[in-house]
Amino acid sequence: MDKIACLQMVSGPDVQANLQQAESLIEDAVAAGAKLIILPENFACMSIKDADKLKIMEAPGDGPIQAFLAKMANEHGIWLVGGSISLRTENPQRSRAAVLVFNSQGDLVARYDKMHLFDVNLPESDESYHESSTIEPGDEVVVVDTPFGRLGLCVCYDIRFPELFRLQLDKGMEILAVPSAFTAITGKAHWEALLTARAIENQCFVAAANQGGTHANGRSTYGHSMIIDPWGVILDRLPSASGIVIADIDRARLESTRKHFPAIKHRRLGGADAPR
């Protein structure tokens, strides 16, 4: 039985310092037996201003952050989900928020670009987020084969849009990776409920790696990184600060849940057997 781990970080604007923190946590997860490791959204840079991310965006396939991910995967013989980082587009004023998956040889095997952008105002804290001002949305649903099961990819705000995960389910998704930087306010209200719902309705494992603390830009993220099984049971969680959560990927548990409680097969809307 293989183990999956999520890293929880409190990233700042210094890329090198963040990569050092990520490397230390990856080493901790490997020492604990993890074979699949997920990093949080913006793990390499939580910038002071949104536009600052444009200064560190990389060309696809080239750059120190991508090189770091490939090196970590290869050196430790792990599958690594690095999400998200800023990748260049044709528009120099907007990047893609990309999740990159590297196999145990350090090869890039999948990329998902964040589809739903966080353009919201939070009156409780007077916070405003307008990701679309610097980020270009993706439009591809991504599920990738891994030795641990079919892995679906998303980022943070995507978790509020269940139709995305039904499309992933139709592509065979068994594990859902959720790199995130969920805010403290929205996290307290919705984080656990959303993640648990996605696990239960899709009868899959959910592995959510969140940022978890107060950042240099003054914003606070919720933490509570967690791994949830296909019945909605939280297998491990970390309330705050940097660290790891880790759990077994029990394929027998997944297969038994889907066999004995065949809700996926009972779908009437969507899926191969939907009424026409």
Residue ranges of the domains in the chain? 2-260
What pLDDT is attached to residue 52? 83
Residue 271 has pLDDT above 80, yes or no: no
Per-residue confidence (pLDDT) for residue 123, from 0 to 100: 74
pLDDT at 274: 54
Helix, strand, coil in percent for the chain, rounding step 5: 30, 35, 35
User: What are the structure tokens assigned to 142, written together?
Assistant: 């991504």
Say if residue 240's pLDDT is above 50: yes
pLDDT per residue as tens digits for the range 64-108: 999 999 999 999 999 999 989 999 999 999 999 999 999 999 999
Q: Is the pLDDT of residue 273 over 60?
A: no
Q: What is the pLDDT of residue 111?
A: 98
Percent of the chain at pLDDT exceeding 70: 98
Give the span between the Cα atoms of 57 and 53, in whole angstroms: 6
Q: Give the model's confidence band at 276: pLDDT under 50 very low, under 70 low, under 90 confident, else very high.
A: very low
**pLDDT at residue 196 above 60?**
yes
pLDDT at 275 over 70: no
Mean pLDDT in residue range 36-48: 95
Cite the active site residues: 41, 114, 156
pLDDT at 168 over 50: yes
Listed residue (33, 2, 9) closest to 23, CA to CA: 9
Q: Are strands 175-180 and 205-210 parallel, antiparallel or unpaired?
A: parallel
Give the integer Cα–Cα distance in Å for 155 and 114. Answer: 6
Q: Residue 143's pLDDT is what?
A: 98
Instruction: Yes or no: say if 111 and 101 are a contact pair by the CB < 8 Å rule.
Output: yes
CATH superfamily of 2-260: Carbon-nitrogen hydrolase (3.60.110.10)
Q: State the average pLDDT for the chain.
A: 95
Q: What is the pLDDT of residue 71?
A: 98
* Strands 225-228 and 205-210, bridge-based pairing: antiparallel
Side chain identity at 169, as an amino acid letter?
L
